[in-house]
Amino acid sequence: MDRYGNRGGDSGVVAYELGDGAIAVRFADGGVYLYTVASAGASNIRKMHQLAVAGYGLNTFISQNVKDRYAKKL
């Protein structure tokens, strides 16, 4: 997994791994969740990829838009 940039300084996301049509996100509590096109939608996955690479806004986007629409907890 790649370390999340956390440019805002207070993110609950610590790392991520991008996949084709998916993203795995590790949160500060240690939980790792896999979001996929099937579970969260293609546009949401594209946006999550962008935010992960930018290092800003991913936790907020997840909490406001996809919440528990993950495919599975890893």
Q: Where are the domains of the chain?
A: 2-73
Please determine, for residue 37, whether its predicted confidence score (pLDDT) is greater than 90: yes
Evaluate the CA torsion angle 59, 63, 64, 68 in order and state its sign.
positive
Please determine, for residue 8, whether its predicted confidence score (pLDDT) is greater than 90: no
C-alpha separations of 16 from 10, 31, 37 in Å? 16, 11, 16
26 backbone dihedrals φ, ψ, rounded to 5°: -100, 130
Mean pLDDT along residues 3-8: 94
